[in-house]
Structure 1
């Protein structure tokens, strides 16, 4: 046990930690959990790079962070995770601009959106939440390996969700080409994929000193829910409280705490391929509706199948 829990905030996780010399890249860093993660780590002297689609929003986030921490070292990198062209461009720029990345936090995402497609024809949630981060991680891997060589270890944190309880990933019909599209099923599939990707990364890079962690941040009222109608949002809360009568929304600093913990906790050193919630490693649990990680999300055969499919779909061969 870490000594932290559901109400822990980012600054408590980082108390006494010095991130000087560390470079941290956070996707979706212009708002919500990503901006809070960037703020908290920049306040501990990390060199932080935030990515997002909108340069203006990123500039506003940087101004807010520097307003709170004068002298904070925060940079921006434009990247649209729904476009392989944008991802490749961002990767090229990152490798030109930076010497290393010690921590990559794949934080960005979309939730329960209507059926739409990415620029490359992928179903939007699977395409953004998983394939976009898969392709970006491939582009950034030389920098992550450089960080591992320089500092002794590297970390990749993938934001998943308890939404992975909804269903396994569907590796036969990832784009809903044959099955009927359902927003929450799509979200659940993509969040399971985030954990399987974590497993795949650990299997391939753990022995090189690069460790991967999947994270459930908790229920937080951020712009992730921007696609939900009032009725859909009420239905979501109804379903969540039915499975967890003690459910409470977290604040953004509480929600970002687990990914910050996964990125920095000394007790996780050398121990990747796990799913974390409330600043602790979750147990494998196929029954509980309010905690734990499903065994299908850590299945090696599924992780390997997803890896091969992702390389085929994106052309991003590690």
Structure 2
């Protein structure tokens, strides 16, 4: 069932894709950033298919409204506070997840993201876009890995789904953007390209994390049953663009970038199709990447060719371990119990 409004683009592919998905009773989906946009569509859709939904959102009235929306529809939904702009907040959320999901997590969807923000540091010292979009998701995935393996033992598999973007294309991964250099990564001066490079770096990190974790799990946890996948939405009228404007995206360059995106933007339901395929479709392979292809109005989400870069994946992995304070990605049980 579509969730479009009269003012939003009409979904073109959503209903057909959802009709092919299996029932999800007995499965638990933990989703970051699902107060609105593609994350909320994903939560609603998986909930209607029978999954239990754990919403990982920053405490806010919007988070409360999103939870109420699901519960009023008769869906099984729980809210776990999760502030991705603080590593301490991620640790707190992971501990609450362990309490809320003793049976494990079947699918962790790292969806939350910010876009086009000023050159600001988090309290941990990292660029606000890189920490929110990648580094905190890296830490969260590490901390809840035992819950994923637990679900895989029960149901045969579990999944991690990262959410990238068409904006991932551009510069190669830069070590300085993964370091504690928030507020020192180009500033916000004319013409304003630097904020968009910082965003590009964070979305490239989402995809590289997928490939790196896929390889690390094969080497360190063979047979664990946890698949790692990635999706991107394509140009989507998700509401993220409006948040960029409210955060200071008023330069001509900002307006041009947002106008070009919205000119060909698809419905938010269609923007969620990559995540739905990666998270719900039977028979997917670890390391797969789903999203629309081509230019102009996006088509349905498809399996995309790999975009591998071994050197960048190594850089991403080592820098992320250091930033998150993690020595061994797969030993989160001891850290949560500490």
User: TM-score normalized by structure 2?
Assistant: 0.80
CA contact (8 A) 2:22 2:49 kept: yes
1:307 offset after TM fit, Å? 1.0
Range with bigger deviation, 40-49 or 56-65: 56-65
Unaligned runs of 5+ in 2: 1-10, 188-193, 293-300, 330-338
Partner of 1:83: 86
Partner of 1:199: 211
Q: 1:131 aligns with which of 131, 135, 139?
A: 135
Range with bigger deviation, 94-103 or 214-223: 214-223
Partner of 2:58: 53
Q: 1:106 aligns with which of 106, 110, 113?
A: 110
Partner of 2:191: none
* Change over 3 Å in CA distance of 1:238–1:251 after alignment to 2: closer
- Give the secondary-structure state (helix, strand or coil) at the position aligned to 2:319: helix
1:17 offset after TM fit, Å? 1.4
Q: 1:234 aligns with which of 246, 255, 275?
A: 255
Partner of 1:287: none
**Where do 1:227-306 residues align within 5 Å?**
227-228=244-245, 229=249, 231-237=252-258, 248-268=264-284, 271-278=285-292, 279-284=301-306, 295=307, 298-306=308-316
* Change over 3 Å in CA distance of 1:114–1:305 after alignment to 2: same
Deviations 1:156-209, CA, capped at 9 Å, x for gaps: 110100101122221245336765241110011111110110011111224422
CA contact (8 A) 1:157 1:262 kept: yes
1:239 offset after TM fit, Å? 5.4
- Give the secondary-structure state (helix, strand or coil) at the position aligned to 2:169: helix
Q: 2:37 aligns with which of 14, 32, 35?
A: 32
Unaligned runs of 5+ in 1: 1-5, 242-246, 285-294
Deviations 1:63-84, CA, capped at 9 Å, x for gaps: 112333x2x1100100000101
- Give the secondary-structure state (helix, strand or coil) at the position aligned to 1:266: coil
* Change over 3 Å in CA distance of 1:267–1:315 after alignment to 2: same
Cα distance in structure 1, aligned partners of 2:205 and 2:57: 21
Cα distance in structure 1, aligned partners of 2:238 and 2:185: 30
Partner of 2:17: 12
Partner of 1:186: 198
CA contact (8 A) 1:17 1:44 kept: yes
Deviations 1:97-144, CA, capped at 9 Å, x for gaps: 212000010000011111111121101111111101001111111111
Cα distance in structure 2, aligned partners of 1:52 and 1:124: 16
Cα distance in structure 1, aligned partners of 2:196 and 2:148: 33
User: TM-score normalized by structure 1?
Assistant: 0.85
Cα distance in structure 2, aligned partners of 1:178 and 1:223: 28
CA contact (8 A) 1:11 1:40 kept: no
Partner of 2:297: none
* Change over 3 Å in CA distance of 1:240–1:51 after alignment to 2: closer
CA contact (8 A) 2:121 2:183 kept: no
Partner of 1:314: 324
* Change over 3 Å in CA distance of 1:310–1:299 after alignment to 2: same
Q: 1:214 aligns with which of 210, 225, 230?
A: 230
